[in-house]
Structure 1
Amino acid sequence: MAAPPRKAGRRIRVLLPLPLAEAYDYWLPADVPAGPGSFVEVPLGGRTTLGVVWEDAPEGGVAEGRLRDVIALKPAPPMHKPLREFVDWVAAYTLSPAGAVLRMAMAAPSALDEPAAVAGWRAVQPRPEGARITPDRARALEALGTATLPGTEISRRAGVSPGVVRGLASVGLIRPASMPRQAAFPRPDPGHAPPVLAEAQSRAAEALVRGVAAHAFGVTLLEGVTGSGKTEVYLDAVAECLRQGRQALVLLPEIALSTQWLTRFERRFGAPPALWHSELTSRTRRVTWRAVAEGTAPVLVGARSALFLPFPDLGLIVVDEEHETAFKQEEGVIYHARDMAVVRARLEQAACVLVSATPSLESVTNAKDGRYARLALPQRHGGASLPEIRALDLRVTPPERGRFLAPPLVAAITETLARGEQAMLFLNRRGYAPLTLCRTCGHRMQCPNCTAWLVEHRAQRRLLCHHCGHTAPTPPACPECGAEHSLVPIGPGVERIQEEVAELFPEARRLVMASDTIPGPAAAAEAARQIEAREVDLIIGTQIVAKGWHFPHLTLVGVVDADLGLGGGDLRAAERTMQLLHQVAGRAGREAAQGRVLLQSFAPDHPVMAALMADDLPGFLDAEAAQRAPGHWPPFGRLAALIVSSEDARAAERAARDLGLAAPEGEGVQVLGPAPAPLALLRGRHRHRLLLKAPRGVRVQPILRDWLGRVDVPANVRVQVDVDPVGFL
């Protein structure tokens, strides 16, 4: 018996948001009006799933009669071509399945459905005869007028109870009606409250505005000292983007904590931006994703994942604090949002602005080589001067026994508080102590899942692994030898500094700012309010306090351990420490009063300390470049890491050995390893690393694909590829 004839249609390719390398072929019936970029529902195995029409499929491959039909077209704006090209580009660059990248661009699947209509009430005209109209009903009808409004809004406007509205419905004076869809986000007004810019700011802003108005791709590095008004400058570029009727995206490293930035934006434009970060509710994500896709979210501020949102007309991408390692995603699809922002801007023909007081050596090198334009703001805004930075040699003036604050720092805090000013102590270490050991047998409290010590969090009476989240109550006795009350904390965390400060300055009002004490936007906003209202005298914080805060009365910053971060052999250890300490120092003296920064260090002659005290960031970066260039280390060469892991230690070791034996060879190409990773056990998985190093002009992706294709990796072993790694744990 002959098979029934195929219904009219055509062969298409549909990419699914699953870890699949390629799109699948489907049959698109002629009565389903889907084109490239359309979101569709398709069968997969015994279930249905969502996908995106990627392109028409060439003839051949799966026989036409075996192709399964597209089930339905989703009522959502199609994914436009530049975003589809971006998904393909990121997948090829990072050696990730294209479907895994697409999943990031489809982060709110429920947004593909038509938003539900909101029920309201509309007045019946002409009014039914004989309907009784009381004074309250008359006020409600007047408030409703010819509009369609929800019952709660009618009650509010008329000042009547909900029962009055129900009464109007019962006598037929109003009828149910669907509310017209309102824009989810008010449109920011580019002319609402433009700031008065200094001369250098105006020149920089004009250059950025011209870049946006050109409707062409270009990258600009905007660098300026802390407090120089970089935000006001690039907000002028956002204003121009709004005037052009295009959308703008601003990426921030810590969007959940950027309350002061959001306040500044609303003051400038008279309306808040749309937000995108991990703490949004599912409903807010759905509404925001849809608004972005429909073009009704003119400005969005987000974390790195916002880069994959479906903007139909993106005119500007700003990456604020472009040097921050928070822009690097280390799990799943491994990518650097700063670098991918440049790529998306190119595909969108949009302007891209990279902003930092301490730009990365990569961006500085690109600017020097002419790939990026460069704008500088060398002076603080409003006449404020840069803080005085001094190192305290802990070998000469050590803290008292059992303490961590040296006498000169204690004296400086005393003087600052006596003047009614605020001080900050910075230590980039959460918890009470980074290590707990037994003074009887020397046993160290270690995570069972990771090669890491458990950190004591005394306030919660628990030990916590900051890598996998393993937690355990602090035991009363040593689990190794059984000695009671023998466990002692080694080294300080911010909780321990807070305890010391409470003893030294019992009258001072204190606030600890760390990711576990400031868990989200509401807590950050309240902390900022307390500090600005001078309800806090002394702030103790981790790296959270380094990012963009403006506290007018803060004049002293003390860095408890300036050497922290310099060890470990990390390629970028000195650069990161320089950036972090420079940013922290920039919190001091941002208004009229002179700021002071004291760095407690056992190595005050280190190049990082010398550069900070001399305010010579360019000189420091030149020295870093001179060290890296001869060995072709980034940004003068290419790196790619293979991270081999398994719950089976021997399987991981064998797979790493096999990859090492198959290592590629070529001019300038070098493979380092395999070697156990510094975190040799992470979340229960045994880990080994291999590092491919190549000259800058070499494309490493084909080399990596060939390398991985020559080794049979067992199913119980995972190999992650990290192109352009920024960390080496």
Structure 2
Amino acid sequence: MNRVRCLVLNAALGPLDYKVPEGMVVEPGAVVECPLGPRTVIGIVWEAERLPGTEVPVEKLRNLRGLLPVPPLSAPLRRLIEWTADYYVASLASVARMALSSGGALKGPATMTEYRLTGGLPERMTPQRQAAIDALEGEQANIRELAGIAGVSEGVLRGLVNQGVLEPVEVDCDRPYDPAHPDFAEVELSTQQREASGIFSEAVRAAKFAPFLLDGVTGSGKTETYFEPVAQALRMGRQVLVLLPEIALTENFLHRFEERFGAPPVLWHSSLKSTERRRAYRAVSEGSAQVVVGARSALFLPFRQLGLIVVDEAHETSFKQEEGVRYNARDVAVMRGHFEQVPVVLASATPALESLQMAQSGVYKKVDLPSRFGGAQLPAIDTIDLTEEKPPQGMWLAQRLVDGIEERLGRGEQSLLFLNRRGYAPLTLCRNCGFRYQCPNCSAWLVEHRFTNRLACHHCGHEAPAPKACTECGEPDCLVACGPGVERIADEVAERLPQARVFVATSDTLNSPGRAAEFIAAVEAREVDVIVGTQLVTKGFHFPELTLVGVVDADLGLEGGDLRAGERTYQQVAQVAGRAGRGSKPGEVLIQTRHPEAPVIAALAAGDRDAFYSAETEMRREAGAPPFGRWAAIIISSEDDAEAREAANRIGAFRPEVAECLILGPAPAPMALLRGRYRYRFLINARRSVQLQDVIRRWLGALDHPPGVRVAVDIDPYSFV
């Protein structure tokens, strides 16, 4: 083969052909260095028949510059890249980039210099040096990463190196991971768990594609159940991928995994240092990483010998990526299982309606765990009607809920209060002039965070110090917090129950695996009486002494008219309710609501999941909504409002006329300004028989846009803002 077709990692370019220099041997999937003008870019050798391009005479082709020292991307991974790009109307290059997600790993074996504290002190101590020494206890990384951890400049750390306070350590970038042992620990399983794990283990032995929906109530031991097929894959020398929706859940999972297999799994998520990502990537590609536990991006890692995929908490909306390639990791995981010919287990206590429909139609095999493990009982659930049991003036917790917490304090038990709203208050305004603090980059109010004394935007990350006086009228001490966030609920608990030890658990306080580990340890050591948390605490945690769950505002998720609002509220409340009574002590759940008659709330109170899903299914069927119809969104954005509006109108003028396909818009997006960009949307509703992606490709492919305009396509959207 003296010529190859390459997919270069530039979405603006199509496939390019190159000549293979004498002595170089390449095969499909090989990662190569390609000349492009004066530059060198990364490319992937692809099958020419699968990647149409312009035929150029071989004598006009430029030589490849090099073959990178990583194993070629496998054929199943290349097929997954093609499928993802086609289904989500994305460029092949942007999807392929996710499979080459560690630039350092592509350079081959290497050592590097990291630094750690020696225990010594500098000749002259400054506040920055003291802060760095305090923050870097037990840390080892390169200077740039240590500076990020310590929150100081790299110059401060280089000064500490010169003073002998930090010492260099030569590290093998690709040192092997400790092996996991499939039979390390004896595991006691219930009859239900044994039957389920037997089904999954047999599928691993068969080494064929088999999608399963593991539908188990909270506390039924789903993790222990799928650990058995993990062990079977390890015995066969195959690799395993476990996807988790939140980084904060990994620490709890790691502990349980290490107890079962004698070594931690390989981690993959955005908080890893670049050296850790490089090491993990190379171990995966070479086949030595046995079990990888990661966020959705782990789905595109180049596994050498995959044997099983598990998607835990498979209903979670955080598996849907909202930027770049807008894929749903739950669905792409099933497709990777199909291309790799391996079983896929989707585990959830509250499966997505789409997954239940796939099971009902026979595409997925449904496996049930209807009982809690070890004889634990599901908690008793009751509602508090806030129109009748009103909290005291200026408070947010009804007296019956406060009494319940006080009762648990007296018994030495723990309580959890759930409110899916970070910060102290969602809106801050001036009582003198009525000015509301809004993000300068987004159509969103700034949220007050009293722990850090700042106002923050939860969409773009913009922050500003909380002002002492109104920035509009200058009136001092006139700012009013409107509505509750978790910090405000925590303050109320401290005020009404001063003896309670309160912990606020959100993505602000549990923003790393280390902090999550500290939180788990504190709760297990009974150093916490009341947890106040967001959706982060609704899943994955097992606290035997937690016997009361209070849902502060069950109606919050029903606002906004989202297609999946009812389903999402049911999942969140059912999941957080499942944290209660997981040990030998009975649990209780109190749901505060102003609409106890709403179908979602009534179903939760009655414990009648089937009735809720049945009603939700019929509503979706009538609306032609997923899983019975198809939705897609087209989002047009620009830093200039007029430019975005004009581009949207031009796209609208060329809308296609397609039977059984309704195109709504363009209209300003509900979040009309996001991260400094003005946004307009089209929403498309089509029958399943319509080739929706082809319709969108033909429609948008014929149009050009100004350089400042971005046009994004969202197939099966989860966010409607």
Same fold (TM over 0.5): yes
Structure 2 equivalent of residue 113 of structure 1 = 107
Distance in 2, matches of 1:194 and 1:706, equals 57
Conserved 8 A contact 1:246-1:314: yes
Distance 1:13 1:672, change over 3 A: same
Distance in 1, matches of 2:305 and 2:191, equals 32
Letter in 1 for 2:705: V
Distance in 1, matches of 2:426 and 2:172, equals 57
Q: Which runs of 5+ in 2 are unaligned?
A: 114-169
Conserved 8 A contact 1:188-1:269: yes
Distance in 2, matches of 1:70 and 1:342, equals 35
Structure 1 equivalent of residue 166 of structure 2 = none
Q: Which runs of 5+ in 1 are unaligned?
A: 1-8, 120-177
Structure 2 equivalent of residue 206 of structure 1 = 198
Structure 2 equivalent of residue 26 of structure 1 = 18
Q: CA deviation at 1:626?
A: 0.5
Distance in 1, matches of 2:550 and 2:172, equals 56
Distance in 1, matches of 2:658 and 2:39, equals 47
Q: CA deviation at 1:653?
A: 1.1
Distance 1:35 1:388, change over 3 A: same
Structure 1 equivalent of residue 570 of structure 2 = 578
Q: How does 1:322-337 map to 2 (within 5 A)?
A: 322-337=314-329
Conserved 8 A contact 1:438-1:487: yes
Q: CA deviation at 1:707?
A: 0.9
Distance in 2, matches of 1:625 and 1:48, equals 53
Are 2:94 and 1:68 aligned? no
Letter in 2 for 1:114: G
Structure 1 equivalent of residue 382 of structure 2 = 390
Distance in 2, matches of 1:458 and 1:534, equals 26
Structure 1 equivalent of residue 78 of structure 2 = 84
Q: CA deviation at 1:23?
A: 2.2
Distance in 2, matches of 1:255 and 1:616, equals 31
Q: How does 1:257-296 map to 2 (within 5 A)?
A: 257-296=249-288
Q: CA deviation at 1:544?
A: 1.0
Structure 2 equivalent of residue 476 of structure 1 = 468
Letter in 1 for 2:314: E
Letter in 1 for 2:83: W
> Which of 513, 529, 537 is residue 521 of structure 1 equivalent to?
513
Q: How does 1:137-176 map to 2 (within 5 A)?
A: none
1:25 match: secondary structure = strand
Conserved 8 A contact 2:249-2:540: no
1:260 match: secondary structure = helix
Q: CA deviation at 1:295?
A: 0.3
1:283 match: secondary structure = helix
Conserved 8 A contact 1:256-1:279: no
Q: How does 1:330-345 map to 2 (within 5 A)?
A: 330-345=322-337
Query: What value does the CA root-mean-square deviation take over the aligned residues?
Result: 1.8
Range 656-665 or range 452-461, more displaced: 656-665
> Which of 391, 406, 409 is residue 401 of structure 2 equivalent to?
409
Are 2:608 and 1:608 aligned? no
Distance in 2, matches of 1:322 and 1:22, equals 35
Conserved 8 A contact 2:110-2:172: no
Q: CA deviation at 1:661?
A: 2.2
2:47 match: secondary structure = strand
Structure 1 equivalent of residue 238 of structure 2 = 246
2:432 match: secondary structure = coil
Distance 1:256 1:536, change over 3 A: closer
Structure 2 equivalent of residue 314 of structure 1 = 306
Letter in 2 for 1:110: G
> Which of 393, 410, 418 is residue 426 of structure 1 equivalent to?
418
1:424 match: secondary structure = strand
Conserved 8 A contact 1:22-1:97: no
1:408 match: secondary structure = helix
Conserved 8 A contact 2:553-2:593: yes
Structure 2 equivalent of residue 534 of structure 1 = 526
1:329 match: secondary structure = coil
Are 2:87 and 1:93 aligned? yes
CA offset digits 1:566-591 (Å, max 9, x no partner): 01010000000000000000000001
CA offset digits 1:640-683 (Å, max 9, x no partner): 10001111111111111222222222221110111111100101
- TM superposition outliers: structure 1 runs of 4+ over 4 Å: 56-60, 178-183
Conserved 8 A contact 2:248-2:510: no
Distance in 2, matches of 1:489 and 1:334, equals 35
Are 2:8 and 1:50 aligned? no
Q: How does 1:346-495 map to 2 (within 5 A)?
A: 346-495=338-487
Distance in 1, matches of 2:283 and 2:522, equals 34
Distance in 2, matches of 1:608 and 1:723, equals 27
Task: Report percent identity of matched pairs.
Answer: 54
Distance in 2, matches of 1:642 and 1:118, equals 45
Distance in 2, matches of 1:728 and 1:437, equals 27
Structure 2 equivalent of residue 659 of structure 1 = 651
Q: CA deviation at 1:59?
A: 9.7
Q: CA deviation at 1:191?
A: 1.2
Structure 2 equivalent of residue 596 of structure 1 = 588
1:666 match: secondary structure = coil
Conserved 8 A contact 1:256-1:277: no
Conserved 8 A contact 1:673-1:691: yes
Distance in 2, matches of 1:343 and 1:562, equals 35
Distance 1:710 1:264, change over 3 A: same
Q: CA deviation at 1:180?
A: 11
CA offset digits 1:439-481 (Å, max 9, x no partner): 1221111111111000001121111111011111112222222
Distance 1:108 1:273, change over 3 A: same
Distance 1:474 1:12, change over 3 A: same
CA offset digits 1:305-333 (Å, max 9, x no partner): 00000002111111000110110111111
Conserved 8 A contact 1:221-1:367: yes
Letter in 2 for 1:94: Y
Q: TM-score, normalised by structure 1?
A: 0.89
Q: TM-score, normalised by structure 2?
A: 0.90
Range 656-665 or range 622-631, more displaced: 656-665
Conserved 8 A contact 1:75-1:112: yes
Letter in 2 for 1:711: L
Q: CA deviation at 1:631?
A: 2.3
Distance in 2, matches of 1:116 and 1:710, equals 47
Letter in 1 for 2:424: Y
CA offset digits 1:109-164 (Å, max 9, x no partner): 22123313799xxxxxxxxxxxxxxxxxxxxxxxxxxxxxxxxxxxxxxxxxxxxx
Distance in 2, matches of 1:701 and 1:683, equals 28
